[in-house]
Amino acid sequence: MEYRSLGRTGLKVSPLCLGAMMFGAWGNRDRDECIRIIHRVLDAGINFIDTSNNYSAGESEEIVGEALAQRRAQRDEIVLATKVWSPMGEGVYDRGLSRKAIQQQVEASLRRLKVETIDLYQTHRPDPTTPLEETLSALTDLVRQGKVRYLGCSTNHYEGPGPWEKRFAAWEIVESLWLSERNGFERFVCLQPPYSILRRTMELDHFPMARKHGLGNIVWSPLEGGWLTGKYRRGQANPGDTSRAVNWVGDIENPKFERRKDIVEKLLPLAEAKGIPLARLANAWALRDPAVTSIIVGPRTMEQLEDSLTVPDVEITAEDAAAIDLLVPPGTSAL
């Protein structure tokens, strides 16, 4: 397995990162199978696991913690990442990035993960109700207390009125680096942005900024919620096999899905010509960008995981990239 430096750090991570969002009530409710998936990942040489305090109300962290407790001999080789910000209850400090919220949430994550230190602690979204200086100061304290080793931030690709729709713009991330340098705070070492064939907006500002300032990129949703697996196709019903399919996608005949269905139908022959599934092509395409350190693969089943393990071996040729550029031009979004 090839390992890469995460930004300008000595932290070495695999090009595939196991995303644990589908472990628990949001996806696979079979804990034993989820643990087997985690063990298979470790056996394959993947050393990077990403979860969040809010995935399945903390159940994902519990499953990861249980799996790692069974593999204590490997713990020092594993890079464990989780996040803070998301609502974990109705209390005013059950969410957000205030000092009090961060201090409470990190203790809960440490308990669920059964560890003394989290390797990479990330802010899940910006918190406009809290000064960034307070957030960075609180996170710096966690590093100096030995509860966290490195800091990162996750962001969205668009901005809207909802709490999950706050976008961490490239200039705001640069501002965070300036605040860290000015005040002696620990700095963010990486971003966790969305990136896929269907969603390439990060190529405009975030990726160039990250490369200039030495930030790694751990990209999420390279399969765009199943769209880039061929699961949703023109003329076929939504399989409705997951809560995401039912609640997030719903009626695939909705006119808003027309362009992405067109793109999927044109991508499928490209994958077939290479003799691989569309999901493997889409993951390999996301990994090929020099700004990308690692892609998050979020399998719900062992079968899905096995397909992902060979992604680093897939070559995206110049001809492949050019064909995809014609479908979704660089820096644009088809969503």
pLDDT band at 246; cut points 50, 70, 90? confident
- The whole-number pLDDT of residue 180 equals 98
pLDDT over 90 at 164, yes or no: no
Q: Specify whether the CB–CB gap between 281 and 270 falls below 8 A.
A: yes
b/e burial code for range 26-47 (CB count within 10 A of at least 16 → b): bbbeeeeebbebbebbbebebb
- Closest CA relative to residue 136, chosen from 123, 124, 146, 155: 123
Q: Which of 55, 150, 195, 232 is catalytic?
A: 55
pLDDT over 80 at 159, yes or no: no
- The whole-number pLDDT of residue 250 equals 79
Classified by CATH at the fold level, domain 4-327 comes out as TIM Barrel (3.20.20)
- The whole-number pLDDT of residue 228 equals 96
How does pLDDT run across 307-325, given as a tens digit for each residue?
999 999 999 999 999 999 9
Backbone CA torsion sign across 270, 276, 280, 286: negative
pLDDT over 90 at 253, yes or no: no
Q: Specify whether the CB–CB gap between 284 and 314 falls below 8 A.
A: yes
Give the C-alpha separation, 129 to 98, whole Å: 8
pTM for the predicted model, two decimal places: 0.94
How does pLDDT run across 223-243, given as a tens digit for each residue?
998 999 998 888 887 777 777
pLDDT over 90 at 275, yes or no: yes
- Provide the residue ranges of all domains of the chain, joining segments of one domain with +: 4-327
pLDDT band at 121; cut points 50, 70, 90? very high
Q: What is the mean pLDDT of the chain?
A: 94
pLDDT over 90 at 306, yes or no: yes
Amino acid at 78: I
Q: Specify whether the CB–CB gap between 106 and 80 falls below 8 A.
A: no
pLDDT band at 160; cut points 50, 70, 90? confident
- The whole-number pLDDT of residue 244 equals 74
pLDDT over 80 at 18, yes or no: yes
Residues above pLDDT 70, as percent of the chain: 99
Residues paired with 18 in a beta bridge? 49, 297
Q: Specify whether the CB–CB gap between 59 and 25 falls below 8 A.
A: yes
Give the C-alpha separation, 287 to 301, whole Å: 22
Give the DSSP letter of residue 154: E
Say if strands 118-123 and 79-84 run parallel, antiparallel, or are unpaired. parallel
Q: Identify whether 55 is a catalytic site residue.
A: yes
